[in-house]
Structures are given as structure tokens and as C-alpha cells.
Amino acid sequence: MHIHKKILTGTCPLLFASFATLALTQDAEARRTVGETPPPQTTPTPDQAIEEVKVFQLESATIEDIQLAMQEGSLTSVELVNLYLRRIQAYNKGSTISPVQPLNAILFLNPDLLEDAAQADRLRKQGIVLGPLHGIPFLVKGSFPIKDMPLSGGVTAWRNVISNKDSWAVEKLRQAGAVVMGQANMDNWASSATSSTSQIAGTVRSAYLQGALPGGSSGGSGVSAGAYLTNFTFGGETGGSIRNPGDRNGVVAYKVSGGSISVNGIIPLVPERDVIGPLTRSAKDNAVVRDIVGAKDPKDPWAPILPLLEGDRPVPQSGFATTAEGYSLAGKKLGVIGTYVGLPHPNPGVGATTNTTAVQTTTPATKELIDRMMTEVRAAGATIDYVFMPPEVSTTYNRGETAPRLLLNSTPYSNQVAAYVYRSVIEEAIGRPDYTYSQNAAMVLETAALTTNISSTRRAMMYNLDAGTGAYTPGEAISFDSAAGIEHYQARAQQKDAFEAWMDAEGLD
């Protein structure tokens, strides 16, 4: 076990923060922003300085360890949250005990955080444990809606756009007992895959190497998980924005397949490519979190076309965490795509219509890590070697003989799909049940017109306005299951089938 009693002296800044408290104000605006000086009367605050506290070794504890500690009574959710809050105070905006530059990894904290943690503790005392994440705090990217908190995407223009409800992922995590800490910082409107700078909270800094890029656009999610500012986080990805922060911050970052986890309500960048996924300290924890949010959501934009894409490799019925128990690599055959790690294709001519012509540059240090990984995999009983794709196979969606015609990634379809998803996101966030369709439409358009990344072309496609009556009706926006969308995803399904057929022919697991 990693639980013990210890005097909290603050002498080890890499593990402990000082006793100084982090206040979360009751004022709707001031209480949400990390780093602002709160008024004297603000509440709640972390526990005041005491002679002795229970200290949890955050750097080694798994979700299972934490749950066992809570069951034994040696740790509470409130105590765990306070440990994270002290680290946030010490490292997120700077502190006299912190030798590093501020991480700027947090966008907004949940003003009800400590009360939510206390409620989790009360339920546990009553013998009620909601799920495997009961009492465990987490952060989500700033593009995720959380009830009664800003849905900003890091942009000041949307700072006062307060969501009426949780996203699907946040809702499912709450139902499993997890405690929402708030939102992690991100790149403005998820625009960069390498760095993360928002108008609201500034530039996210690496938890491990000063001056290094933390990855984007989910940089705050990666740094928050890597620096132990929370237990786990969620990021969003269009092209690298989960994997890059995971790689740069030493955490397990899972970029799932499209439609595997609902993106309902989350600010999009490129809807037909956007996914979300968990970032954790261990692979096992990642599987636990992944199972919680894996249920099908009928409101997910992906939902109508999932039957086109679900093939012979479904999600394990028992879940990832259970399936992984006792799982062995012995007898498995794995492949590393050679061109992705700096190796030239043995027959470059075959790459004319695929991604095999572009040999990715790989540093010697990275190549050394790949070689070490392959040695360890072989030691675990698996076969692993470099593989090269034939011309009929591609892992890049717009290349290869079976590539779709890019209907959803070319005008006017790209704008129409984006208009549909943006409209849905804003309607979900601020729509009022007591308003008429036209009243809600007017609110949506007013919000969409604020300075963000939503173009006037896309706004114009959201609704049609009857100049005579002033009434709004749905505009030119189209969903994934439109005729264009179905054609696009039928081609994507063929591309997926070709890749899996090649894997089967090669005997790859």
C-alpha cells in the first residue's frame, strides 16, 4: 500500500505543496478562475494547517490503490482533493516553494469541488459506492461542457457561455462516482497539436522540462496528469492532440476510434475527425476510465453512421479492464510500420497513392526507445518486427486506393457538417426548454457570432430566417447520416476493411 501518516512540512516541493490555501469564491465569475486573488470571505478552501495529516503517494497510486485506501478509511475524497489543490496552488500559478515556472495547466476549477468530494465521502459512509471511480477527482479539456461552468474552448469571447449540462463523458464519470475538478487549459479553439496557449489562462508549460513544448491542443490535460494536479484527465483530438500531450508528459494517452466515445456537446474543430480520450498514469487506469465512458450515446454525432464502421473487432463485451486482467502477449504478432519510424519502404514505387512514400524523420533517441520497446515485447513472448504497407492499404484517411472522395472534408460539405455540430453544441449548452425554437435559434446565433473560430459561412448554414415572420427553421447544415456523410463513411469503411484484411493476411494481432 502507498498510504501512510506523515507530518506535512512542505520540505519536498516535488511531492507537497505548502499549507497556504487555495480559495474558490462564491461569486459566479471570480470563483471559477484559477490564479485570481479571491475576496477574504470566499469558500470553500483546502483544510487549514494541522499538526498531522494523512499523505497519499500520488506518484505511485493507481485507481485501485485509492479505492482500497478509501475502503479502509485511511483516505477520504476530501483529503485526496486537498492534496491536488495544494499541488495546483504550488505549481499552476507559481509559489514561493516552487522552483519551476507556473505550469498554467488549469483553465477553471469547479466551485463545488470540495462539496462534491464531501458528498462522495458521505455516500461511502452510508455504504453507497457509485462505481470504480467513486471519490476520485479528474479534469477535462476546456472544450468539454460541465454544468454551470464556462464552455470557452480557451477563448475569452466564450468565457461567459455557461453550460446548462454536462457532456456525455462528464455525466458518465459522475455516475461512476468521480468528482469533477474542473477544466484543463488548452490551445485556443484546439488549434495547435504541439503547444497550448489560451486567451484565458496563457501558455501551458511542460511538467518535466522547462522550455519544452507540452503538446497540444490538450496540453493542460497532459500536464495536469503528468504533474499530479489531478488523478486523470480527458483530452480531445483531431490530429495528435491527445497523443502528443501524452507523449510529452509521460502519461498513457488513448486516442480512440471515431465514435468509440461520444463527443456530444464538445466544441469541435473538424467534426468528422474529432475524438476524445483519457490520459492516465497507468494503462490499467486508462482501461478503467475508458470502460466508464464507452456506452453508446444516441445524441453522439457519430451514432447514425456507426453501423457502417463497426466490423469484426468490437469492444470487448466484458470491458477493457476486465479483458486485460491476466492478458498475455505470448504468441501475439505485432508490427511497427517502418515508414513511420524513419525506415524507407523496400519498394518505394508502391507508395504512389499511399502514405508509404513519406518517410517520417526519427531522432536517434526515439529510434533507441523503439528498439528497446521491441526488445521488451519479445521478452514478453510476442513476435514483433517492422512491416510495410502495400498500395491498397493506408492508415491516412485521404490516401490509398479506397480513400473516400473527402465529401465531408471539402466545401460545401465540410461547412455544412461543421454548422450542424456547432449548432448542436450551442443548443445543448445554452438552449432553454421554455423558449421557442426561434428564440433558442436567436441565442445560438448570437453566441456563434462572438469572436471564435466559427466562420460567417457556417453561421449562415445553421438556420433559415423567414423575413416576413421572423421565424427560424433549420438551415443547410447536414449531419453525419446525410447522403454525403453516408457516402463518405462507406468509403472509410472500405478503407478500414482493407487495412484489417492486410493485417489478417500478415497474421498481425
Residue 203 pLDDT = 96
Distance, in Å, from the CA atom of 310 to the CA atom of 489, rounded to the nearest integer, reads 11
Of 163, 191, 198, 217, catalytic = 217
The predicted pLDDT at position 400 comes to: 52
Domain residue ranges in the chain: 3-295
The H or E element containing residue 184 is strand 179-184
DSSP codes joined into one string, 66-82: HHHHHHHTS--HHHHHH
Annotated active-site residue 328? The verdict is no
With vertex at residue 414, the alpha carbon angle to CA 501 and CA 279, rounded to the nearest 5 degrees, is 60
Catalytic residue among 241, 260, 414, 424: 241
Determine whether 217 is an active site residue: yes
pLDDT given for residue 393 in this prediction: 80
SS3 107: strand
Find all residues with CB under 8 Å of 120, minimum gap 6, and list them.
Answer: 77, 130, 134, 135, 177, 179
CATH says 3-295 is which class? alpha beta
Q: How do beta strands 179-184 and 202-203 pair?
A: unpaired
| Predicted local confidence at residue 43, as pLDDT | 41
Provide the angle, in degrees to the nearest 10, between the axes of the packed helices 483-506 and 413-430.
100
**Which parts of the chain register pLDDT below 50?**
1-44, 49-54, 352-353
Which letter does DSSP use for residue 47 in this model? P
Within a 10 A sphere around the Cβ of 321, how many other Cβ atoms? Answer: 21
pLDDT, residue 399, reads 54
Amino acid 206: pLDDT? 92
Dihedral pair phi/psi, residue 364, rounded to 5°: -55, -40
Tens of pLDDT along 371-424? 999 999 999 999 999 998 887 787 665 555 555 565 677 889 999 999 999 999
Catalytic residue among 93, 141, 172, 496: 141
* Terminal alpha carbon distance of the chain: 35
**Which pLDDT does position 260 carry in this prediction?**
92
Q: Is 141 a catalytic residue?
A: yes
142: exposed, middle or buried (C-beta count within 10 Å: 0-12, 13-18, 19+)?
A: buried
Helix axes 168-175, 283-292, angle to 10 degrees: 100
pLDDT tens for each residue of 263-320: 999 999 999 899 999 999 999 999 999 999 998 899 999 999 988 887 655 667 788 9
